[in-house]
Chain A
Amino acid sequence: MRIRYRVAVWSGLLLAALVAAVLASATIGPVELRAPVVAKAALNAVGIPTGLGVSIGTASVAGASVPWPTVDVQYAYPFAFQIAPTSELIVRSIRLPRIVLGATVGFALGGAGAVMQGFFRNPMADPSIIGVSTGAAVGAVATIAVPMAVPFGLQTAAFLGAVVTAFVVYLLATEGGRTPVATLLLAGVAVQTFLGAVVSFLLLQSGESLEEAVYWLMGNLYGAGWADVGATLPAITVLFLALVPFARDLNVLMLGEEDARTLGIPVEWTKRLLLALSSLLTAAAVAVAGVIGFVGLIVPHMMRLVVGPDHRLLLPTSALTGALFLVVTDTIARANPQELPVGIVTAALGAPFFLFLLRRREVHEL
């Protein structure tokens, strides 16, 4: 079967499953809503951008007000179904933004995980392997524990922590323009350990805000709004689309760097680019959702068992399955009377499912 056809079929199926999961998820919550109501409310929320404008507002950076350009997008809403205002409010303003944000974060983690595993030629790699998540944790926990010391909002601090950490790890592992993958891995582990100590120390200092910090560390989507989606979705879409043309280079890199070189891949340049894009992708996800473990590790691995190692197929299917997985797990997390951080659910459900797949495949191969 031709690759374009396979990508289209798989992506189409997974996208359909994702839309179904989003709608099903929106029916679940303290107020039970029926599926048609949810579907109508969701369609009412569909906006088609009709105009773009830029206005100069102000933003507060380090306590000072500075002019800040804001992009205004005008939307037209083609659907106007009549439904109860409370139902519309619940779906449109409370549940949908959280579900869409979950899908976006899962999409980013699944995609970044597929890239990292290919990049490191190691199925144990995940998006946080070069310290992105731990760096974000330092930024976030510092903001929570010692707010006066950090001049940014929590999400900005987490994002910057993640990006700076990835860059530092990269610099530590690079010598003479070459970045050996094994050195990168070790530098990542060492920096993660160090930053883990910093996070623990900050937690000790956090006093009353300890619970909030722990919640963030476990990863959760509580209280997500459209503003979060607006900040994250475009960034993640752009970063992901930038990665797609490199899927074939990733395939070649899996055969080894020397081999890739003889096939005309500028290896170091490609590695730098892949590392930067996937780190930004992870950072954007972790900044809004906290440290959600396991999605970036098991989803790409699972999809490799299902669709094979070709990144042209693996990258989109991992991203979409990541989105699907996080929508489902976050629904379970918030359906619980005492809401759980979604990170706990992803790990608790993901690990056994992964083990099941691993066992079945091994038995199958005998």
Chain B
Amino acid sequence: MSEPLLSVADVSAAFGDARVLDSVSLAVRRGEFVGLVGPNGAGKTTLLRTINGVRDPDEGTVSVDGDRRADCSAREWSRRVATVPQDTSVSFSFRVADIVEMGRAPHRRRTQFGTTETDRRRIEDALELTNTADMRDRPIDELSGGERQRVFVARALAQDTPLLALDEPTASLDVNHQVEILRLVRELVGEGRAALAAIHDLELAARFCDRLALLSDGGIRAVGPPESVLRSEVLDPAFETTTATATNPVTGTPTVTAGAGDGTVVDGDDARRVHVVGGGQAGARAIATLRDAGHEPSAGVLRDGDLALETARSLDVPVATTPAVGPADPDAIAAAHDLAADAAVLVFADADIGPRQWTLDLAEGAPSTVLIEARPLAERLHADERARGRYERLRERSETADLDALPSAVDTAVATAERPADD
């Protein structure tokens, strides 16, 4: 095969006496998206930092395209590796275009004050590819986390390097934005580019990466296609837990359930996982009530600015989001399906039913549902009569509860779902 683009050879790094990386070797070829997975503290970030040149390895070499890191200046190296940082919060109101322009820093002369023709072309391309062109004049500190992350990917693209290094690009994002960013990186890889990303979510990593490298205790424990890495006998020693792996019926990629051996998991679904569909007062109260009662709620799709979204965020509840106006983002709906698929019960919290009826799609896919009906259906129904029929059938097979009785209704629903169909 062709010469690898990135080659990490026997790299070791230590902080004082603590050895963080112990003789790590890894190769990434052009056109490849490699996910770096592993438990917290495994050394993922440190490995990325030795690759992007922020930290020099204590031993071993890092090279890109045959050029060794140690032989390059910071400037020369920054034309080979671009980094999307984990923390993209900026406390100064640079415009989006200014941030992306900073990606041209490695290519400019000291005396150059403005931008050259090449600079402008690369900046435009980067804005275009990341779908950030229409926010170019907006201040970076007024963007959402997902938008900011895209801008930083654009900056890395403007840097025009063969290798992209991403440190937990999805860590601080809503579920649908996680998918959006990884899909973007997936698309960008190719044309001779490659990407290496630390990703803590194993299933997301499996869905988007060509290969995974499992890092644990400072060493690479496994490298290969996701199916070969995400196997219990590989994961269990690394994460020091027992896992159950299966194939996601929607995406066809591996899924991992941790803690499978300690009895809390029922048929791959956690009995405490509840997905809430519907926003506003009812959605917000449902999320809070379930969390109080010891359930693990997820929510969505919720619109930006929704009361329930604020509640979900403040309680650290996973949530799929969509902009405040316009039709719901298909990625967000897909993400909500992912969340709902893990849940034992779905709570349909006074949710509206739009023309596309995606709230009903979500509810019908759930093993067990609980309805909360605060407003009459007529006020919530913005679709045709078929939708009314679908809702009536949903009501027949669901528990109906008011908000105060929600936890006990959910418990009943879990029990119903676990009992084999006897009628």
Chain A contacts to B: CB under 8 angstroms: 2-4, 7, 121, 245, 248-249, 251-252, 254-256, 258-259, 261-267, 304, 308-310, 312
Contact of A264 among B49, B75, B95 (CB under 8 A): B75
**Contact of B113 with A312 in the complex, beta carbons under 8 Å:** yes
Nearest to A270 among chain B residues (CB) is B74
A-B contacts besides A3-B114, A262-B78, A309-B92, 9 pairs, CB < 8 Å: A121-B91, A254-B92, A262-B83, A263-B102, A266-B75, A267-B74, A308-B95, A309-B93, A309-B94
**Contact of A262 with B52 in the complex, beta carbons under 8 Å:** yes
Q: Which residues of A contact B83 (CB under 8 A)?
A: 259, 262
Assuming the contacts A248-B108, A265-B105, A266-B73, asked whether A259 and B94 have C-beta atoms less than 8 A apart, the reply is no
Q: Give, as a whole number of angstroms, the nearest-CB distance from B389 to chain A.
A: 47
B79 at the interface (CB under 8 A from A): yes
B18 at the interface (CB under 8 A from A): no
Assuming the contacts A309-B92, A309-B93, A309-B94, asked whether A252 and B105 have C-beta atoms less than 8 A apart, the reply is yes
Nearest to A7 among chain B residues (CB) is B113
Q: Give, as a whole number of angstroms, the nearest-CB distance from A143 to chain B.
A: 40
**Contact of A262 with B82 in the complex, beta carbons under 8 Å:** yes
**Contact of A264 with B78 in the complex, beta carbons under 8 Å:** yes
Inter-chain CA distance A7–B114, complex, in Å, is: 10
Inter-chain CA distance A312–B90, complex, in Å, is: 18
Q: Which residues of B contact A251 (CB under 8 A)?
A: 94, 98, 102
Q: What DSSP secondary structure best describes chain A's contact surface?
A: helix
Q: A-facing mask of B58-95, CB < 8 A → 1, else 0? A: 00000000000000011111110111010100111111
**Contact of A308 with B93 in the complex, beta carbons under 8 Å:** yes
Nearest to A261 among chain B residues (CB) is B54
**Contact of A263 with B106 in the complex, beta carbons under 8 Å:** yes
**Contact of A261 with B53 in the complex, beta carbons under 8 Å:** yes
Q: Give, as a whole number of angstroms, the nearest-CB distance from B260 to chain A.
A: 38
Q: Which residues of A contact B54 (CB under 8 A)?
A: 258, 261-262
**Contact of A4 with B94 in the complex, beta carbons under 8 Å:** no
Q: Which residues of B contact A249 (CB under 8 A)?
A: 105
- Report how many residues on chain B are interfacial, defined by Cβ distance under 8 Å: 35
Inter-chain CA distance A310–B102, complex, in Å, is: 11
Nearest to A304 among chain B residues (CB) is B92
**Contact of B111 with A245 in the complex, beta carbons under 8 Å:** yes
Q: Which residues of B contact A121 (CB under 8 A)?
A: 91-92
B50 at the interface (CB under 8 A from A): no
- Cross-chain pairs A/B with CB under 8 angstroms, 29 sampled: A3-B113, A3-B114, A3-B115, A7-B113, A121-B91, A121-B92, A245-B111, A248-B102, A248-B105, A249-B105, A251-B98, A251-B102, A252-B102, A254-B92, A254-B94, A255-B90, A255-B102, A258-B85, A259-B83, A262-B54, A263-B105, A264-B74, A264-B79, A265-B74, A267-B74, A309-B92, A309-B93, A310-B94, A312-B113
Assuming the contacts A2-B114, A255-B90, A258-B85, asked whether A264 and B98 have C-beta atoms less than 8 A apart, the reply is no
Nearest to A2 among chain B residues (CB) is B114
B110 at the interface (CB under 8 A from A): yes
Inter-chain CA distance A309–B114, complex, in Å, is: 16
Q: A-facing mask of B329-346, CB < 8 A → 1, else 0? A: 000000000000000000
Inter-chain CA distance A308–B137, complex, in Å, is: 12
Q: Of residues 44 to 60 in B, which have CB atoms within 8 Å of A's CB atoms?
A: 49, 52-54
Inter-chain CA distance A65–B76, complex, in Å, is: 52
Inter-chain CA distance A328–B138, complex, in Å, is: 35
Nearest to A246 among chain B residues (CB) is B110
Q: Give, as a whole number of angstroms, the nearest-CB distance from A229 to chain B.
A: 29
Inter-chain CA distance A279–B95, complex, in Å, is: 30
Q: Which residues of B contact A261 (CB under 8 A)?
A: 53-54, 74
B159 at the interface (CB under 8 A from A): yes
**Contact of A266 with B74 in the complex, beta carbons under 8 Å:** yes
Nearest to A262 among chain B residues (CB) is B83
Q: Which residues of A contact B76 (CB under 8 A)?
A: 264
Q: Give, as a whole number of angstroms, the nearest-CB distance from B293 to chain A.
A: 37
Inter-chain CA distance A7–B113, complex, in Å, is: 10
Nearest to A245 among chain B residues (CB) is B110
Q: Which residues of A contact B81 (CB under 8 A)?
A: 262
Q: Give, as a whole number of angstroms, the nearest-CB distance from B423 to chain A.
A: 58
Most buried by B among A251, A267, A309: A309
Q: Which residues of A contact B75 (CB under 8 A)?
A: 264-266
Q: Give, as a whole number of angstroms, the nearest-CB distance from B206 to chain A.
A: 27
Q: Which residues of A contact B52 (CB under 8 A)?
A: 262
Inter-chain CA distance A141–B72, complex, in Å, is: 50
Inter-chain CA distance A148–B7, complex, in Å, is: 67
Q: Give, as a whole number of angstroms, the nearest-CB distance from B77 to chain A.
A: 7
Inter-chain CA distance A266–B53, complex, in Å, is: 11
Inter-chain CA distance A267–B83, complex, in Å, is: 16
B43 at the interface (CB under 8 A from A): no
**Contact of A310 with B85 in the complex, beta carbons under 8 Å:** no
Inter-chain CA distance A133–B267, complex, in Å, is: 71
Inter-chain CA distance A254–B98, complex, in Å, is: 12
Q: Which residues of A contact B226 (CB under 8 A)?
A: none
Inter-chain CA distance A256–B150, complex, in Å, is: 18
Q: Which residues of B contact A267 (CB under 8 A)?
A: 74
**Contact of B98 with A263 in the complex, beta carbons under 8 Å:** no
Q: Which residues of A contact B90 (CB under 8 A)?
A: 254-255
Q: Give, as a whole number of angstroms, the nearest-CB distance from B258 to chain A.
A: 31
Most buried by A among B93, B99, B111, B113: B113
Q: Which residues of A contact B98 (CB under 8 A)?
A: 251, 310
Inter-chain CA distance A162–B396, complex, in Å, is: 82
Q: Give, as a whole number of angstroms, the nearest-CB distance from A183 to chain B.
A: 18
Q: Which residues of A contact B73 (CB under 8 A)?
A: 264, 266
Nearest to B79 among chain A residues (CB) is A264
Q: Which residues of A contact B159 (CB under 8 A)?
A: 263
Q: Which residues of B contact A254 (CB under 8 A)?
A: 90, 92, 94
Q: Which residues of A contact B318 (CB under 8 A)?
A: none
Nearest to A254 among chain B residues (CB) is B92
B297 at the interface (CB under 8 A from A): no
Nearest to B84 among chain A residues (CB) is A262
Nearest to B78 among chain A residues (CB) is A264
Q: Give, as a whole number of angstroms, the nearest-CB distance from A117 to chain B.
A: 10
Nearest to A257 among chain B residues (CB) is B54
B103 at the interface (CB under 8 A from A): yes
Contact of B53 among A7, A245, A252, A262 (CB under 8 A): A262
Closest 5 CB pairs of A and B: A264-B78, A264-B106, A264-B75, A262-B83, A309-B92
Q: Which residues of B contact A266 (CB under 8 A)?
A: 73-75
**Contact of B114 with A4 in the complex, beta carbons under 8 Å:** yes
Inter-chain CA distance A333–B87, complex, in Å, is: 48
Inter-chain CA distance A248–B93, complex, in Å, is: 15
Inter-chain CA distance A266–B110, complex, in Å, is: 13
Q: Which residues of B contact A255 (CB under 8 A)?
A: 90, 99, 102
Inter-chain CA distance A3–B91, complex, in Å, is: 21
